[in-house]
Amino acid sequence: MSPAETKQSPRARLLDFLKSAWKSQRNNAYKKVVRGVVNWATFPFEKFDRAVSIHVDRSNFMEVDCGQNRATISFEIMGKVPKMDEDGNIDDGLLDEFYADAKRVVELSQLEGNSSGDPLVLNVQRAKNIALEVRDADLGVQGLVCSVVYEY
C-alpha cells in the first residue's frame, strides 16, 4: 500500500474514489460532488447544472482493516428540470443520464484496486440496490436518489 492508502480507512478510500468517479462522468459534467447534506432548495443550479451528494446511510461502526466491511451509500443526483417543449412536455433524457451515470460509477468502483492489487470493493449487493426519482416543479429540479450496498 502507498503511504496515502495506509492513512485512510477502507471506507474513506471508497468514498474518495466515488467522489472522483462522479466528477469524471460525462466529461466532468458533475462540477459539484460533495459528501454530506445539500440544500437543494437554495443550490445554485444556474452555476452547477448537475450535482451529486454522497451519504453513508449505514456502515460498520468499528471498521476492520482486513476482512469485510459493509456500507449502504446513497447518491443524490440532482439537476435543473429541462425546459418544456411547446406541448408542455419535459424530456426525460436527463433522468436517463442520471441512471446510466450511477450504474457506471458503481461498475467503476468494482473495477478499482489499490497499489497492491487488492480490489477496492469486494461485492455490491445488487438485490438490495434501489433508485427513486425525485422532482420539485416549484424549484425546477429533478433527480435520482440511489442506494447501494457495498462490501469492501
- Adjacent-strand bridge partners of 113: 119
* Least confident interval from 2-11, 51-60, 74-83: 2-11
At 96, which amino acid appears? D
Q: What is the mean pLDDT of residues 57-78?
A: 83
Ramachandran angles phi, psi of 100, nearest 5°: -60, -40
Q: What is the mean pLDDT of residues 35-58?
A: 94
User: What whole-number distance in Å separates Cα of residue 31 and Cα of residue 33?
Assistant: 7
Domain range list for the chain: 3-151
Cα–Cα–Cα angle for 6, 10, 12, nearest 5°? 95
* 3/7 Cα distance (integer angstroms): 7
Picking from 112, 115, 93, 82, the residue whose alpha carbon sits closest to that of residue 19 is: 112
pLDDT at 34 > cutoff 90: yes
152: pLDDT strictly greater than 80: yes
- Whether 120 and 102 have beta carbons less than 8 Å apart is answered as no
CATH topology of domain 3-151: STM4215-like (3.30.2000)
Cβ(109)–Cβ(14) below 8 Å? yes
Phi-psi region of 36 (alpha: psi -120 to 50; beta: other; left: phi over 0): left
